[in-house]
Structure 1
């Protein structure tokens, strides 16, 4: 469960993303970034916000995972996107989530176990807020997720690779919204090949692959 606060952010998330995207090797400048939607994962310890944005710029659609922290993440200065002032939570450090071990664990868990996005509640409101992007992992793992080790992400050709001990995760940065991902939703109970995270949002006819995982 993710708690969303009624807060003022300075700068806004989209402002941070708009500054971050042109610096990435997988981004092609073609119009101003516009937010399509977002989804969240839970941090079991409740300390790190995990929110992934789907952003359009021109004819391309980008997948931008962010993590929000109330303190600096040691050794991750290279992946710091910026800081923001949150009117409820105070200063927040915003990172490319692919370098955040909390996100890596949450992503792997979602893919391997068939988990969906976190249910979102606005603080003080009893009913959940619908997610603007829905996701679901293709795995069916009943047991625990393998232990993961921290590893610096490596980006190239529109994807980011994260070697995390027993698992290798691939996060798609430039989304192929024309592809039919529905054929990939069935998965074996064990990791005989790629297991994936599919996503969908309003106006998208078929789900699109957002990330995948295989054993190293």
Structure 2
């Protein structure tokens, strides 16, 4: 379960993405104000790191998929993955990373694909109670019912193209960046739907 605080983040995630997206070789859209289309989250087993995948677009440009992680301290050896830092009105300073290079995100993505564990339920703290938060999209995998995800210990290589390929010590993950394309991915596939996109769209795969 992901706890979403009623808080402000300065600069916002979308503001950071407005600067960062045009620097990516796989980004194929105009420069401008980034708009959120939908999102899904995973749980950090330790409850310390935010794991969120944003679907965003600029103007009438294509929808892009951007995994992010939110940490309370720098991730060692990941300076090249850092989008920037932001001040969270509840949690304090947060370091925001490209999730494709964060081992915690990669491990949870592997579970969602290989074992079809789905996305995290989300709740918002309102006073002294937790209220369910409506999910903005659905995700599901074509993994067999008895599939078990391998443990991911280390990221070996990242090819940050379209699609992005992440090689780990146990599994290779492929993440589609531009969601208006239909790449032929092999292995077990994760797909999603969101408002305005009722046909399941390929998000990622594992093999």
Alpha-carbon distance in structure 2 between the residues aligned to 1:202 and 1:74: 37
- Is the counterpart of residue 22 in structure 1 residue 22 in structure 2? yes
1:92-171 aligned at under 5 Å gives the runs 92-124=94-126, 125-140=129-144, 142=146, 144-151=148-155, 152-156=157-161, 158-171=162-175
Residues 1:212 and 2:177 are matched in the alignment: no
For residues 117 and 18 of structure 2, what CA distance do their matches in structure 1 show?
30
The offset of 1:130, in angstroms, is 1.1
Q: Which residue of 1 aligns with 2:48?
A: 47
Q: CA deviation at 1:133?
A: 2.0
Work out the CA distance in 2 between the residues paired with 1:93 and 1:137: 30
Structure 1 residue 81, shift from structure 2 partner: 0.7
Name the CA shift for 1:210/1:143 in 2 (closer, same or farther; >3 Å).
closer
Unmatched tracts of structure 1, length 5 or more:
185-192
- Which runs of 5 or more residues in structure 2 are unaligned? none
Q: CA RMSD in A?
A: 2.0
Rounded to whole Å, the distance in 2 between the matches of 1:37 and 1:81 is: 20
The 8 Å contact of residues 38 and 52 in structure 1, kept in 2 or not, is answered as yes
Distance 1:31 1:205, change over 3 A: farther
Q: How many residues align?
A: 202
Question: Any conservation in 2 of the 1:112–1:139 contact (CA below 8 Å)?
Answer: yes
Tell me by how many angstroms 1:19 deviates.
Answer: 1.1
Instruction: Please name the residue that 2:61 is paired with.
Output: 59
Task: Give the distance between the partners of 1:22 and 1:59, measured in 2 at CA.
Answer: 13
**Residues 147/116 of structure 1: CA separation in 2 closer, same or farther (3 Å cut):** closer
CA deviation string 1:55-96 (max 9, x = no partner): 112331100000000011011111011000001000000000
1:111-157 per-position Cα deviation (integer Å, ceiling 9, x unaligned): 1111221100001344311111221222135364223232242112x
TM-score norm. by structure 2 comes to 0.91
Give the secondary-structure state (helix, strand or coil) at the position aligned to 2:203. Answer: strand
Q: Quick check: 1:37–1:201 contact (8 Å CA) kept in 2?
A: yes
Preserved contact between residue 113 and residue 138 of structure 1 (Cα < 8 Å): no
Secondary structure, aligned partner of 1:174: coil
